[in-house]
Amino acid sequence: MLRPLALLLSLAAAPLAAQEVADMAPRDGWVVRDLRLGFDEAVDAVRDAARAAGLAVVTQAGPTGAAAARGIEIPGNRALGLYNNDFAVRLLRLSTPAMIEAPLRVYVTEDADGDATVSHVIPSVRLAPYREDSADPAAFDAVAAELDAAFAAVMAGLDG
């Protein structure tokens, strides 16, 4: 009984082990930027650029290390949550539900060639569903535009 179960589980896991993660491609509402940096260097560059743009890295998540501990090799992959309390307080005053999106994330992925891609959903796009129900849609737009500028500064800061 255990042998067939083990065989079934090994067959189910085989596609995961062989599966490649595709390089990030441009998509509507996203900024996608290929870098000539390795994955770890790109993660460090995002941290530095975020700090310079007045944003703190408050969360990070990625399956690469945990997968390796399970014997599965996948390309580098990390989402970094960026946050600034000033933006959070101002946004919260305008829309309580919008705070579910905090922190907003930047995504670093390792490409097939070993370089990295940094991408993110444009903050105003991520926050758009909460605009109409906000206390003041014009003020909401202003905060979203400032977040767009802060994330654009992070991406520009990747140049060094």
The ranges assigned to domains in the chain are: 21-157
Residue 91 neighbours by CB under 8 Å, 6+ apart: 98, 99, 102, 127, 140, 143
Phi/psi for 56 (5° steps) reads -105, 145
> By the 8 A CB rule, do 26 and 132 touch?
no
Looking at residue 24, what is its pLDDT? 86
Q: What is the pLDDT of residues 20-60, one digit of tens each?
A: 556 788 899 999 999 999 999 999 999 999 999 999 999 99
List Cα–Cα distances, 6 to 14, 26, 92, in angstroms. 12, 40, 50
pLDDT score for 9: 42
Phi and psi (nearest 5°) for 58?
-110, -15
pLDDT computed for residue 44 by the predictor: 97
Helices and strands counted in the chain (H then E): 6, 5
The pLDDT assigned to 160 comes to 60
Identify the pLDDT of residue 46: 98
The two structure tokens encoding residue 35: 């870098």
User: From 3.30.310.70, 3.40.50.300, 3.30.70.20, 3.90.226.10, which CATH number describes the 21-157 domain?
Assistant: 3.30.310.70
Rounded CA separation 39/46 (Å): 11
What are the helix (H) ranges across 19-131?
Answer: 39-52, 64-69, 85-94, 123-127
Q: For the chain, which ranges sit under pLDDT 50?
A: 5-19
Q: Give the tokens for residue 96.
A: 């309580």
The per-residue pLDDT for 8 is 41
Q: Are 35 and 117 in contact (CB under 8 A)?
A: yes
